[in-house]
């Protein structure tokens, strides 16, 4: 390890030289209270920025040990510090020449508290901060003085404002950690209380816009209030009793007029699988960890998925126990999404009629009379929802505004009016009794799904000379090798860093866990177990700060959307 002043001397020595001379500064430098590692030096001022890693020893950081005792605490503490570092580096980042010269940054956290590789805290309290920066140049010639200002002054000052004990608001840090603990504890209580979701009184559900995940300003928002009949009180370790609406297991409908908050409530539930930051409005709104949002997705690829519980007897004789297509319809894509979620252990399905195929959700009595059962290959979801819970223990929460036939299969009906919920189950059941549907139940017994064994050779991240060529412009779009992967239907991916980690995990796991012997569930769970043991860094030997933790459900969904994917059918699962 070299003293920091040798970095200054090295930069002065290469002033005015071609950009490639920057390669000579790679290495580790002691800055007294931390070590700066220059791990990767970009080859051009217009290329991907250089990667730096700051390591802060425990005796310098002096983080309270009471906040580092378990993974939830460490991840929350890291999330808090990541936000501070992001703000400090953003203030120091500015153009210092051509291309990306002078740009300084770190992964930007969203509204969720997630494990990220951008900032990690060990059990001993060591902090590892991974950031990027564009080394300054004019044209393609090194400019030493701006580089010295960036590496010797601006980055150190920004980091020290973020991690030194005198700079960190320890009370705010503790509140952040305790909030994550409380949220996790509430989620852990759901199963024992026979609930799938909990929304606390006072929560702010609406977001500012479709592209701004922050809460609607308090002056414009209506605070959530549970109906008395659905009110439950859960216990949070730090803040004590928390009262709100408990959504029971089983089949739940969310109904109401247009623009009254039906889909907004469902979106709060789908994001409740994550912990949220203070002030988000959803910080104690939690959902069971096995909840998966499913929707129709015209045109997606399906690789040998068993959709036979929903679709059989197709006109062209396709085998729906091993259904494969490069251009799925709305109904086949939604059936596949459900089967793929169940394949990896989903315990609750979240469905919005607005993003569903109508013929998949319902076939009313008049349509049944017109189109005979033998001519209709689709068993609508209304005839499987009850079965899913009674036979498999899988709950469903459905936003439904246009099909009252669902009253017959629902356990709970929540009516949204002006963003406030009401328990209107008894009214819905009364209406179901007075206006009896004449539709006939369709479909036979639920059949066990056939498991699938993915071919590792069909998962290929290579492109040209690169053994792994992955680019992730947004959380909805992944360039994986030579193909483009559309993740826009996976609404529970909340950060681009998660999509990036999912793509990298698929590349890493192929040949290791996705080995042609294990089925999808076994392979992806084994991969997930390794990541849990070793940390997210295991998926990328470069140990870069661009990844965020993800769930097996989105990993499986991404795998299923690879158009190159080929699988063998195994035994029933």
Distance CA 209, CA 203 (A): 17
In contact, 437 and 406? CB cutoff 8 Å: no
Q: How confident is the model at residue 372 (pLDDT cuts 50, 70, 90)?
A: confident
> Using one digit for the tens of pLDDT, what is the confidence trace for 221-245?
899 999 999 999 999 999 999 999 9
Helix (H), strand (E) at residue 286: strand 286-287
Q: What pLDDT shows up at residue 498? A: 98
Query: For residue 433, what pLDDT is reported?
Result: 94
pLDDT at residue 178, rounded to an integer: 98
Q: How many residues does the chain have?
A: 573
Rounded mean pLDDT, 145-150: 97
Measure the CA–CA gap between 517 and 156, rounded to whole angstroms: 49
b/e burial code for range 109-140 (CB count within 10 A of at least 16 → b): bbbbbbbbbbbbbeeebbbbbbbbbbbbbeee
pLDDT of residue 116: 98
Residue percentage of the chain with pLDDT more than 70: 99
C-alpha to C-alpha distances, 438 to 340, 366, 432, 472, nearest whole angstrom: 32, 8, 11, 50
Question: What is the band of 375 on the pLDDT scale with cuts at 50, 70, 90?
Answer: confident
Q: How are beta strands 395-399 and 251-256 bridged, if at all?
A: parallel
- For CA atoms 457, 463, 465, 470, the dihedral sign is negative
Alpha-carbon span 385 to 269, nearest angstrom:
19
pLDDT of residue 419: 93
* H/E element, 341: helix 330-343
Inform me whether the pLDDT recorded for 572 exceeds 60.
Answer: no
Q: Give domain limits for the chain.
A: 2-168, 186-290+347-447, 451-572
Model confidence pLDDT, tens digit, residues 424-468: 999 999 999 999 988 999 999 999 999 999 999 999 999 999 999
Adjacent-strand bridge partners of 254: 399, 414
Q: What is the pLDDT of residue 569?
A: 67
Nearest 10 degrees: Cα torsion 271, 273, 278, 282: 50
The arithmetic mean of pLDDT across residues 398-411, rounded, is 95
**Number of other CB atoms surrounding residue 289 within 10 Å:** 20
Give the pLDDT confidence of 282-307 residue by residue, as tens digits. 999 999 999 999 999 999 999 999 99
- CA 166 → CA 124, 163, 263, 487, 560, distances in Å? 20, 8, 45, 43, 49
How many angstroms separate the CA atoms of 550 and 530, rounded? 13
Query: What does the mean pLDDT of the chain come to?
Result: 96
**482 touches 306 (CB < 8 A):** no
Interatomic CA distance for residues 272 and 183, integer angstroms: 9
Region 198-217 average pLDDT: 94
Edge-to-edge strand order for the sheet containing 286-287? 231-236, 240-248, 195-200, 286-287
Mean pLDDT for 212-229 is 93
Q: CA–CA distance from 175 to each of 77, 78, 170, 241 (Å)?
A: 10, 13, 9, 17
- 317-324 mean pLDDT: 92
Average pLDDT estimate for 362-381: 90
Confidence at 379, pLDDT banded by 50, 70, 90: very high
What pTM was computed for the model?
A: 0.96
Which residues face 209 on adjacent strands? 212
User: How far lies 421's CA from each of 71, 225, 246, in Å?
Assistant: 35, 7, 11
Question: What confidence tens digit (pLDDT) does each residue in 13-53 have?
Answer: 999 999 999 999 999 999 999 999 999 999 999 999 999 99
Q: What is the pLDDT of residues 505-555, one digit of tens each?
A: 999 999 999 999 999 999 999 999 999 999 999 999 999 999 999 999 999
> How many distinct helices (H) and strands (E) make up the chain?
15, 30
186-290+347-447 topology per CATH: Rossmann fold (3.40.50)
Q: Provide, rounded to the nearest whole percent, the portion of the chain with pLDDT above 90.
A: 92
């Amino acid at each position: 390890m070299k003293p920091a002043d040798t970095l200054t001397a090295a930069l002065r020595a290469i002033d005015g030289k071609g950009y490639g001379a920057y390669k000579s500064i790679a290495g580790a430098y002691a800055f007294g209270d931390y070590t700066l590692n220059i791990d990767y030096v970009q080859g051009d001022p217009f290329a991907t920025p250089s990667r730096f890693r700051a390591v802060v020893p425990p005796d310098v950081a002096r983080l309270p040990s009471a906040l580092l005792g378990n993974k939830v605490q460490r991840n929350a503490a890291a999330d808090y510090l990541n936000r501070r570092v992001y703000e400090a580096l953003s203030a120091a980042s500015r153009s210092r020449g051509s291309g990306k010269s002078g740009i300084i940054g770190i992964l930007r956290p969203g509204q969720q508290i997630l494990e990220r590789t951008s900032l990690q805290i060990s059990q001993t309290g060591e902090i590892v901060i991974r950031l990027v920066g564009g080394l300054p140049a004019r044209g393609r010639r090194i400019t030493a003085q701006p580089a010295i200002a960036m590496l010797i002054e601006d980055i150190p000052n920004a980091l020290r404002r973020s991690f030194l004990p005198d700079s960190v608001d320890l009370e705010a840090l503790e509140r952040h950690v305790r909030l994550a603990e409380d949220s996790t504890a509430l989620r852990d209580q759901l199963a024992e209380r026979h609930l799938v979701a909990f929304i606390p009184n006072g929560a702010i559900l609406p977001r500012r816009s479709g592209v701004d995940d922050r809460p609607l300003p308090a002056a414009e928002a209506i605070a959530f209030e549970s109906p008395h009949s659905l009110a439950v009180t859960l216990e949070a370790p730090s803040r004590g009793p928390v009262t709100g609406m408990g959504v029971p297991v089983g089949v739940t409908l969310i109904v109401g007029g247009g623009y009254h908050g039906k889909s907004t409530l469902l979106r709060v539930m789908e994001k409740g699988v994550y912990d949220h930051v203070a002030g988000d409005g959803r910080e104690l709104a939690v959902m069971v960890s096995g909840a998966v949002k499913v929707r129709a997705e015209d045109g997606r690829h399906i690789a040998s998925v068993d959709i036979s519980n929903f679709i059989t007897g197709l006109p062209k004789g396709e085998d729906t126990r091993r259904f494969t297509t490069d251009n799925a319809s709305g109904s086949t894509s939604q059936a596949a999404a459900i089967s793929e979620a169940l394949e990896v252990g989903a315990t609750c399905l979240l469905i919005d009629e607005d993003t569903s195929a109508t013929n998949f959700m319902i076939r009313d009595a008049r349509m049944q009379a017109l189109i005979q059962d033998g001519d209709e290959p689709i068993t609508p979801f209304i005839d499987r929802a009850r079965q899913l819970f009674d036979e498999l223990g899988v709950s469903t929460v459905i936003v439904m505004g246009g099909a009252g036939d669902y009253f017959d299969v629902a356990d709970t009906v929540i009516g949204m009016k002006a963003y406030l919920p009401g328990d209107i189950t008894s009214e819905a059941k009364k209406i179901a009794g007075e206006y009896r549907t004449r539709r006939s139940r369709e479909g036979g017994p639920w059949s066990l799904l056939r498991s699938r064994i993915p071919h590792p050779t069909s998962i290929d991240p290579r492109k040209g000379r690169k053994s792994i060529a992955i680019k992730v412009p947004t959380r909805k779009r992944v360039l994986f090798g030579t193909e483009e992967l559309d993740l826009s239907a996976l609404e529970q991916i909340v950060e681009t860093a998660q999509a990036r980690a999912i793509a990298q995990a698929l590349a890493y796991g192929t040949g290791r866990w996705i080995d042609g012997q294990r089925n999808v569930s076994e392979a992806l769970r084994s991969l997930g177990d390794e990541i849990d043991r070793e940390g997210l860094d295991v998926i990328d030997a470069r140990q870069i700060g661009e990844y965020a933790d993800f769930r097996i459900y989105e990993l499986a969904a991404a795998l299923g959307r690879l158009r190159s994917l080929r699988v063998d059918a195994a035994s029933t699962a």
